[in-house]
A = this chain, B = another copy of it.
Amino acid sequence: MALTRPALKLTQEAALALVQAAAEASTAMGVPQCIAVVDEGCNLLAFLRMDGARVLSIDSARRKAETAAAMGKPSGSMHAEVEIKLAIASDGRMTNLKGGLPIIVEGQVVGGIGIGSGTGDQDREIAAAAISRVFG
């Protein structure tokens, strides 16, 4: 019986680099954002609310990151039929708002990044830019 299995964890440096890369991309876009990075267990690793970003996006950005980390897929990809049920059954932690992307290294989901304060497409673009700059 194997008692443990090897895994990878995001470092604090990677989490902070993702936040900074997302902030730079947001500044270039001209849209201040809430930026959240969680690990594969959906626990918060790093966060930044930029000047002018929405206070009420603090939680939604985090939940987008959690959703992407838990599902290993971008948030916004659930079937319309279950999205509200899943949101309620998870106390709001699973969200089908766009703007969350999984962070995948060597085929393993090691976490998620979630962006919130812009449109869904803007949020997703920033998330993708951050991952690309740090892991690309």
Give the copy number: 4
Contact pattern, A 49-82, Cβ under 8 Å of B = 1, otherwise 0: 1110011111110011011011100000000001
Q: Which residue of B lies closest to A109 (CB)?
A: B52
B46, B57, B89: the one within 8 Å of A59 (CB) = B89
Q: How far is the CA of A32 from the CA of B15 in the complex (A)?
A: 15
Q: Is the CB of A97 within 8 A of B92?
A: no
Q: Assuming A5-B11, A7-B8, A12-B23, is B86 touching A60 (CB within 8 A)?
A: yes
Q: Is the CB of B90 within 8 A of A56?
A: yes
A66 to chain B, nearest CB (A): 7
Q: Is the CB of A2 within 8 A of B11?
A: yes
Q: How far is the CA of A46 from the CA of B36 in the complex (A)?
A: 9
Q: Which residue of B lies closest to A93 (CB)?
A: B56
Contact pattern, A 1-43, Cβ under 8 Å of B = 1, otherwise 0: 1111111111111111101100100000000000000011111
Residue A110 lies at the interface, judged by CB distance under 8 Å to chain B: yes
Q: Is the CB of B49 within 8 A of A48?
A: no
Residues of A within 8 A of B (CB): 1-17, 19-20, 23, 39-51, 54-60, 63-64, 66-67, 69-71, 82-97, 105, 110, 120, 134-135
